[in-house]
Amino acid sequence: MIPAFGAAAIRVLIVEDNRDICANIAAYLENHHYVLDFAYDGISAMHLALTNPYDVIVLDLMLPGMDGLSLCQKLRADAKVDIPVLMLTARDTLDDKLKGFAVGADDYLVKPFALQELHARVQALYKRSHGKSDRLLAVGDLVLNRSTLQVHRAGRHIALNPACMKILERLMAESPAVVTRETLEALLWADERPDGDALRSHMYKLRQAIDRQFERPLLHTVHRVGYRIAEDV
């Protein structure tokens, strides 16, 4: 769920194989201006964490594919990902907690837990890592506020759907570099990519939104490679 423009948004990856717990978390946090993605196994979580700019990861320890400790260790040691991690688990001994902190966890919440406490801990991690920064991305006169998910060009507000917002954020974060089609497709659909060229449709909508009413285009197609956002071609 993408919150209304103007509301503060915290992007959280929930890694939990219990779908009932995921549903309860979603029902609560989506009412508090969160943008949520879910992964139900360690491998999918690793992929999402490496391809999306999350603010916080809520990570269960007992997962299929790759357990939470191994996932956290790989994110920290191998991929150099510094997204705050809140470990969520039924293991409540001091030794278990120390193992979590040793591989890079930032906080620990034991099941069963109150959703209000989860909310408070996620907010605390977010504030600790981001402070009061607006986290602005800017290319020319195009500006994206990653905290509020507002987009403006030349002072004019631009409304985007969730898919175009994800694409734009990635392109602006990488600007002026080219982002490959494969990277953008993985960003939107992971390993469940649709038939046909659905990406082209999203890119058309994005180009119409950010370039159509302006003299100088910022979104450029790199033939057979991908796309880039830049002032110069």
- Interval 101-140: pLDDT, tens: 999 999 999 999 999 999 999 988 988 876 544 467 888 8
Higher pLDDT, 167 or 195: 167
Question: For residue 86, is pLDDT > 90?
Answer: yes
pLDDT score of 169: 92
Token output for 217: 């285009």
What is the pLDDT confidence band of residue 161, given thresholds at 50, 70 and 90? very high
pLDDT score of 1: 35
pLDDT score of 119: 92
pLDDT above 90 coverage of the chain, percent: 55
Statement: 136-229 belongs to CATH 3.40.50.300:
no
Question: For residue 147, is pLDDT > 80?
Answer: no
d(CA 154, CA 177): 22
Question: For residue 4, is pLDDT > 60?
Answer: no
Mean pLDDT, the chain, as a whole number? 87
Q: How far is CA 194 from CA 103, 108, 165, 199, in A?
A: 36, 37, 19, 9
CATH architecture under which domain 10-130 falls: 3-Layer(aba) Sandwich (3.40)
pLDDT score of 5: 35
Segment 163-194, tens digit of pLDDT:
999 999 999 988 889 999 999 998 898 877 77
Q: How far is CA 2 from CA 76, 148, 232, in A?
A: 28, 10, 31
Question: For residue 100, is pLDDT > 70?
Answer: yes
What is the pLDDT confidence band of residue 52, given thresholds at 50, 70 and 90? confident
Higher pLDDT, 59 or 3: 59
d(CA 8, CA 50): 23
pLDDT score of 131: 59
pLDDT score of 127: 82
Token output for 224: 């057979």
Q: Where in the chain is the domain with CATH 3.40.50.2300?
A: 10-130
pLDDT above 70 coverage of the chain, percent: 94
Judged by average pLDDT, the poorest of 6-10, 51-55, 181-185, 195-199 is 6-10
Nearest to 139 by CA among 168, 175, 180: 175
Nearest to 183 by CA among 201, 161, 166, 162: 166
Phi and psi for 143 in degrees, rounded to 5?
Answer: -130, 130
The stretch 193-215 carries a mean pLDDT of: 90
CB atoms within 10 A of CB 126: 19
Kindly state the greatest CA–CA separation across the chain: 62
Specify the pTM.
0.57
Q: Where in the chain is the domain with CATH 1.10.10.10?
A: 136-229
Start-to-end C-alpha separation, the chain: 34
